[in-house]
Amino acid sequence: MDELNRIAFLLERQLAPSYRVEAFRRAARALVEVDVAAVAAAGRLRSVPGVGERIESIVRDVLDGGRSEYRLRLEEEVGQQAQSPLQAALRGDLHVHTIWSDGGAEMIEMVETAIDLGHEYVAITDHSPSLKIARGLSIERLEEQFLLVEDVQRQVGDRIRILTGSETDILLDGSLDWPEDHLRRLDIVVGSVHNKLRIPPDEMTPRLVEAMQNPYLDILGHPTGRMGGKARSSYDHELVFAAAAHFGVALEINSRPERLDLQPDLVRLATSLGCNFVISTDAHAPGQMMWQGNGVAIAEEAGLDQDRILNALSADDLLAARGRP
């Protein structure tokens, strides 16, 4: 049911607890399976799984031909969060997950949300094979996803450009978690460390420098591994950032509230070494695609110029800036 899904989207934007968001999505899925008008007329809405007093009231408002007061209030609250000039300059999101790995929405839902946000492009970057806990794609599933990207692109037409991509694990030896043939076919490769994040600096530094030298690595994802209150990875930032600048790898400013990685101090250091950046959401659900403002706030605090941010470029200029062989 569209009203409940929209409420879930707005709650995600406000960083509401995930159980509240999922409650609305669960009820929406259940209501799709019944004749809502008939069930409501019989006074049996609360017999539908997930429908309690609040959701029943929302459904009745919609059946009466309107929108719920709750949704209107959320829309007003979210609408009051004005965009900064830097955020308005961003043209796309280069780190987005779907149900193909550990995301919570279909590709078409994430793409339609990107359209609603005014993006010119979006990269679908589900996980690579080694990250089994996040249902990383096999080679066979990646091939299937290439076909789905083509299909969804046909559905949305020229309203947005969908880029093929992957959040690819940087393995312990610094190699990337796809064969070269598949890396070459991906529009956007985000390389991230998900395992062995706490190895000593004299092991993590060469691991990352080795990854920077891969000609198909476009972006270093959540560069320090910062997550909530956990300690970030320890390595020679100056050496790794200098390697990123030399080999044309952009550093991600990850906008997830529990990551916010890089922090302003390291953005300033990387800028002084000549690095470029992307501001991405690492979204795993539609409402999370509105988190880009978190990364923008970091960039603004660090004094980052727009011309250092690659996703302020058009899609064609972005792809040309990758420095691929």
86 and 128 within one domain: yes
Contact 309, 277 (CB under 8 A): yes
* Chosen domain end from 50, 78, 106: 78
Polymer length in residues for the chain: 325
Per-residue confidence (pLDDT) for residue 147, from 0 to 100? 98
Helix 69-79 and helix 2-13, axial crossing angle in degrees, nearest 10 = 40
Cα-Cα-Cα-Cα dihedral of 112, 118, 121, 125, to 10°?
-60
Per-residue confidence (pLDDT) for residue 160, from 0 to 100? 97
237 and 151 within one domain: yes
86 and 73 within one domain: no
72 and 87 within one domain: no
Contact 280, 295 (CB under 8 A): yes
Closest CA to 239 of 202, 190, 191, 276: 202
24 and 169 within one domain: no
The domain of 104 spans 82-320
Per-residue confidence (pLDDT) for residue 324, from 0 to 100? 77
pLDDT digits (tens, 9 = 90+) for 248-269: 999 999 999 999 999 999 999 9
**Distances from the Cα of 147 to the Cαs of 163, 168, 187, in angstroms?**
12, 19, 14
Per-residue confidence (pLDDT) for residue 81, from 0 to 100? 60
Closest CA to 100 of 90, 88, 110: 110
Mind listing the pLDDT tens digit of every residue in the chain (325 residues)? 678 888 887 887 676 777 888 888 888 888 888 888 888 888 888 888 888 888 888 888 888 777 788 888 887 777 656 567 898 899 999 999 999 999 989 999 999 999 988 999 999 999 999 999 999 999 999 999 999 999 999 999 999 999 999 999 999 999 999 999 999 999 999 999 999 999 999 999 999 999 999 999 999 999 999 988 777 899 999 999 999 999 999 999 999 999 999 999 999 999 999 999 999 999 999 989 989 999 999 999 999 999 999 999 999 999 999 877 7
Q: How many CA atoms lie within 13 A of 180 on its CB side?
A: 4
Per-residue confidence (pLDDT) for residue 66, from 0 to 100? 72
Cα–Cα distance for residue pair 151/304, rounded to 1 Å = 37
Contact 126, 177 (CB under 8 A): no
90 and 125 within one domain: yes
Is 325 contained in some domain? no
Dihedral sign of CA atoms 275, 276, 281, 283 in order: negative
Contact 166, 128 (CB under 8 A): yes
Per-residue confidence (pLDDT) for residue 220, from 0 to 100? 99
Contact 234, 204 (CB under 8 A): yes
CATH number at 310 reads 3.20.20.140
Is 160 contained in some domain? yes
Per-residue confidence (pLDDT) for residue 193, from 0 to 100? 97
Strand, helix or coil at 91? coil
Domain count, the chain: 2
Per-residue confidence (pLDDT) for residue 279, from 0 to 100? 98
Cα–Cα distance for residue pair 325/304, rounded to 1 Å = 28
Contact 123, 163 (CB under 8 A): yes
69 and 24 within one domain: yes
Secondary structure of the chain: what % helix, strand, coil (to 5)?
50, 15, 35
214 and 234 within one domain: yes
